[in-house]
Amino acid sequence: MRDLIVGWPKAEVHLHLEGAVEIETLRELAACRGLPPPPADLYDYPDFGGFLKAFQMVCDYLAGPAEYETVTRKLFGRLQQQGVVYAEIYVAAGVLLWQRKPLEAIFDGIEAGYRRARADGGPEARWILDATRQFGAEAAMEMTRRAVPLRGRGVIGIGIGGDEERGAPELFREVYAYARAQGLRLTAHAGETAGPESIWGALRALGAERIGHGLAAAGDARLIEHLADKQVPVDICLSSNLRTGAVRAIEEHPLRGFLDAGLLVSLSTDDPAMFGTDLAGEYLLAHERLGLSIGELRRLAANSFRASFQGRRLE
C-alpha cells in the first residue's frame, strides 16, 4: 500500500522547512558549531504551546545560510522518496526576522540547497514566507515588504502561523491587502486551535485563498457550505493535529466529513520531522484509521495540485 501511494504523483502545499529538520540533523549542526546538542525529547510536546516552543528552538539551531542550505537539500531528498513532484514550502520568515537573522542571505542558502536538489532530480518548489501571529501586524508587514523583492526567486506568497489565540486574522488585514496588491498569493493557518470565526476572518478580512487546517469549520454548517461552494482549498495534516492536541483522537478528525461535504481537501505533513511522519504515512493514516478508500486517496492526491497556487490563479 505504501509503495502504491508513493507511486502517485503528489503535491505538498503545507510543509514548514524548519519543521522538516530531523533531530539527528540538529545534532550534526550543533556539533559543527560547538553548541550543546538538542534535548532528546525536543519533539515531544504536551500541547500546541509546547510545539511552538520546540519550533522556535529548531530555528535557533539554524544559524545562517549554510544551515539552511543543508536542511533544504535534505528535505528535497525525502520529498523525492515520497513521490512529491511539486511543493509549496513555508519558511518561518517571521521567526527569522524576530531573531534578527539576515533573511535575504538565508534565502541564498535555501536557493543553493534547492538548486542542488533539483540537479539531483528533486521536485519543483515555491516558497511561502510565514509570519508569526503573536509578533503582531507590524512585524508581519515588515516580513511582507521583504518578501516582495524575493518574488523573482520563487517566493510565491505569504501566510500567518503561530498562536491563533494571540492574533486574530483581522489584525493582519492591511498586511494581506498589501501582499495581494504586490502579486503575492495568500494563505493562513486558521481554525487549528481557534474556532470557526478565525476561518471566517481569514476568508473575509484577509482574502485567504487557502486555509491551513480549518478543523473548526466542522462546527459551522454555513462555513462548510461556503468552503464547498467556493472550493477553497483546506490543507489537512492528520499527525500534526493529533500531536499538538488539536484533535483528541484520530477518529474525531473531520477529514471524512469534509470530504463528504465536497470540500477541496488535500493531505500534507506540516512539520514531518517534528511530528514523526511522512506524506505516504499521512495517506496511510487516512486509509487505515479514517476509512478512506483508495479512490478517495487518489482524489486527495489530485486535489493537492488543484490546491497549489500554481494550479489555481487569482480571479
Residues contributing to the site for Zn ion (CB under 5 A): 270
Candidate list 192, 225, 282, 315, residue with the active-site label: 192
Nearer to Zn ion, 246 or 292 (CB): 246
Nearer to Zn ion, 19 or 65 (CB): 19
Q: How far is the CB of 91 from Zn ion (least distance, A)?
A: 12
Residue of this chain nearest to Zn ion (CB atom): 270
Q: How far is the CB of 16 from Zn ion (least distance, A)?
A: 6
Q: Helix (H, G, I), strand (E, B), or coil: what is residue 15? A: strand
Q: How far is the CB of 12 from Zn ion (least distance, A)?
A: 12
Look up cell 516558497; give the residue: 127
Nearer to Zn ion, 88 or 270 (CB): 270
**Angle CA 227–228–230, to nearest 5:** 65
Q: Among positive and negative, which fits the CA dihedral 2, 3, 7, 12?
A: positive
Q: How far is the CB of 1 from Zn ion (least distance, A)?
A: 26
Nearer to Zn ion, 18 or 270 (CB): 270
Q: How far is the CB of 112 from Zn ion (least distance, A)?
A: 25
d(CA 74, CA 85): 15
Nearer to Zn ion, 270 or 282 (CB): 270
Indicate if 192 belongs to the active site.
yes
- Residue 271 · residue 55 · CB < 8 Å: yes
d(CA 58, CA 52): 10
DSSP string, 49-105: HHHHHHHHHHHHH--SHHHHHHHHHHHHHHHHHTTEEEEEEEE-HHHHHHTT--HHH
d(CA 257, CA 235): 14
Backbone angles phi, psi at 295, to 5 degrees: -60, -40
Give the active site residues.
Answer: 192
